Amino acid sequence: MTKLSVNINKIATLRNARGGNIPDVLKLALDCELFGAQGITVHPRPDERHIRYDDVKNLKPILTTEFNIEGNPIKSFVNLVLEILPAQVTLVPDAENAITSNAGWNTKANKGFLQDVIGKFKENGIRTSIFVDADEEMIYHAKETGTDRVELYTESYANQYFKDRKMAISPFVRASNAANELALGINAGHDLNLDNLKYFNENIPGLLEVSIGHALICDALYFGLQNTIQMYRGLLNIY
């Protein structure tokens, strides 16, 4: 069964736009769990333009589902993760000025660096995942970093879905087959939504978890948060 982790960054973005504490990020995270999320994902960035480091610290003691912290493993991020000790850390090579994540790791060129960082996390009992493009070579080199999982960067799939969904998903099927052969767990995220999630889930063998934020929060404006989470669960066959 594929688990649904809800990324709450956009909730924090809305709060930060006005100042104060509306909406309450901590309460909304608990509501997501109550409504059926099987994990909470956050992606703190150095400028704290959405989730803040203090949010991460305050979330850890109150969450009851899996806590996944994403980010570029700069020193401050590594220190935060080692302080919080989440269930999972997902390493993303996002530039400081990037609006959102826009590429996976070159696991061959960055293998030594990733081995060192992942080693620190695994010494502290944290499951690790690496954000990668649907590229079999990058999957093979990811295995050598010592990571537990890879997270497939699905923007290209989402962009091509309505044009030719079979073509769009084909590199992801190949990448997932490679990961399964190497005994790497498979996560996925970025632009997955109510239109394209079901097909992706049905065609990716061994998919363990999807992390969805922007689309889910946007859908909640129309359908309500509780109903939206249930809709996404339905697409993943979570009943």
List the catalytic residue out of 50, 151, 190, 209.
190
Annotation marks residue 202 as catalytic: no
Could you give the CA distance from residue 85 to residue 69 in angstroms, rounded to a whole number? Answer: 9
211 pairs with which residues across the strands?
Answer: 5, 189
- Our CA angle for 133, 193, 139, nearest 5°, is 15
List the catalytic residue out of 43, 141, 151, 209.
43
Q: Is 116 left (phi over 0), alpha (psi -120 to 50) or beta?
A: alpha
CA dihedral (129, 135, 138, 139) positive or negative: positive
Kindly give, in sequence order, each residue whose CB lies less than 8 Å from that of residue 58, ignoring residues fewer than 6 positions away: 26
Helix (H, G, I), strand (E, B) or coil at 19: coil
DSSP E strands in 127-206: the ranges are 127-132, 149-153, 185-189
What does each C-alpha distance from 91 to 68, 141, 182, 190, 227 come to in angstroms? 10, 15, 19, 14, 30
**Per-residue b/e over 174-194, b at no fewer than 16 CB within 10 Å?**
ebbbbbeeeebbbbbbbbbbb
Annotation marks residue 96 as catalytic: no
List the catalytic residue out of 33, 50, 66, 70.
70
Could you give the CA distance from residue 87 to residue 126 in angstroms, rounded to a whole number? Answer: 6
Annotation marks residue 70 as catalytic: yes
Catalytic residues: 43, 70, 190
